[in-house]
Amino acid sequence: MKPFDYDRAKDATSASAAAAKGATIIAGGTNLLDLMKLEVMAPDRLIDITRLPLKEITRTSDGGVRIGALVSNSDLAADPTIRTNYAVLSRALLAGASGQLRNKATTGGNLCQRTRCYYFYDTDMPCNKRAPGSGCHALEGFNRIHAILGTSEACIATHPSDMAVALRALDAKIEIEGSGGSRTIGMEGFYRLPGDRPELDNTLQSGDVITAVMLPAPVTDARHVYRKVRDRASYAFALVSVAAVAQMDGDKIKEIALAFGGLAHMPWRDGAVEDLLRGERLTPAVLDAAADKLLADAKSFGGNDFKIPLARRTLKAVLREACTTGERT
């Protein structure tokens, strides 16, 4: 690990000012420290925000919830309001990492974690995300865990977060303190596809600090499901994951939100799939049509060919659970 300077921020404004000057934000450090040890990232200065007052989960005036950026994954998963009204989020968090890591990992940090692509972590290999312009060895290399949706010739890496997939299904918004003041953006505007700039995971600007995540008022009588398919039962990243929040009207789907992990550079959500399902009974034909719509533009790269049928089966299983026997929350 290369030498670096370390400071503690007094407030979000000073953290933003330090970040604008090139400092790297650190909170739980569960991802950043690994990247520094491997010299994938080598910041000259760290600014520690762990003493900022961002560790509360509070109700908002519109019936929603504000989650401070420093709330740990463990505390968020165990919070009674989250477990009762936003169960898909609690389940996604418990499906991610180990208990020890959840105790340290923060809400804001989880949103910003980097891909687990093997080539990104290996500094001897070309990687456009780590070293722009060097190439993407995963395209013709070992790409079993890689993306099948939203890929580009520059990058086929996936985003690793379980939490972010659930937040995408819940229409969460992210509160940011930046050099221009505070602003709030939706999950759909926070992440980005790789295009020709895969080194950019999200739309954060220089000096931006995530201060909170905002959840809207919960959906009445919603059924929450989170299913994660992985190589082993614990401490493994998703090959395919699906977060579903469904509201039924008898045996018809009244409203549904679906988000997917393990398939793209960002938590994936396809409004066309949801539009197709609304007002429908869950027949085999409807299940096939939803899977066809989701995977119409899917592209695999050899090692990850299995993800296309796996995503199809996982989506169907989640829809059956959420829209027929899913637990009400």
Cα distance between residue 39 and residue 33, in whole Å: 10
Q: What does the angle CA 13 – CA 15 – CA 21 come to, to the nearest 5 degrees? A: 105
What do you get for the CA distance between the two ends of the chain, in Å? 46
Average pLDDT over residues 252-266: 98
Task: Indicate the pLDDT class of residue 325, thresholds 50, 70 and 90.
Answer: low
Question: The dihedral of CA 182, 188, 192, 195: what is its sign?
Answer: negative
Q: List pLDDT tens digits, range 266-288.
A: 999 999 999 999 999 999 999 99
Evaluate whether residue 56 is within a structural domain.
Answer: no
Cα distance between residue 281 and residue 301, in whole Å: 35
State residue 160's pLDDT score: 96
Cα distance between residue 56 and residue 21, in whole Å: 28
pTM of the full structure: 0.96
154 within 8 A of 146, measured Cβ to Cβ: no
Cα distance between residue 142 and residue 288, in whole Å: 30
> How far is the CA of 310 from the CAs of 137, 208, 221, 246, 306, in angstroms?
24, 37, 29, 21, 6
DSSP codes, 253-315? EEEEEEEEESSSSS-B--HHHHHHHTT-B--HHHHHHHHHHHTTT----STTTTHHHHHHHHH
State residue 233's pLDDT score: 84
Evaluate whether residue 4 is within a structural domain.
Answer: no
Q: List pLDDT tens digits, range 149-178.
A: 999 999 999 999 999 999 999 999 999 999
Evaluate whether residue 119 is within a structural domain.
Answer: no
Domains of the chain: total: 1
Evaluate whether residue 15 is within a structural domain.
Answer: no
Evaluate whether residue 228 is within a structural domain.
Answer: yes
- List all residues 6 or more positions away from 158 whose beta carbon is below 8 Å from its beta carbon: 115, 116, 117, 145, 146, 147, 261, 262, 263, 264, 265
- List all residues 6 or more positions away from 8 whose beta carbon is below 8 Å from its beta carbon: 47, 48, 50, 51
What stretch of H or E contains 16?
helix 12-20
Evaluate whether residue 9 is within a structural domain.
Answer: no
Domain of residue 228, CATH code: 3.30.390.50
Residue whose C-alpha is closest to residue 286's, from 244, 254, 319 = 319
Whether 95 has a pLDDT exceeding 60, the answer reads yes
Evaluate whether residue 97 is within a structural domain.
Answer: no
Average pLDDT over residues 201-215: 97
For helices 307-320 and 284-294, angle between their N-to-C axes, nearest 10 degrees: 140
Q: List pLDDT tens digits, range 12-69.
A: 999 999 999 999 999 999 999 999 999 999 999 999 999 999 999 999 999 999 999 9
User: Structure tokens of 254?
Assistant: 């009244």
Amino acid at 72: S
State residue 97's pLDDT score: 85
228 lies in which domain range?
223-323
Evaluate whether residue 110 is within a structural domain.
Answer: no
Whether 328 has a pLDDT exceeding 80, the answer reads no
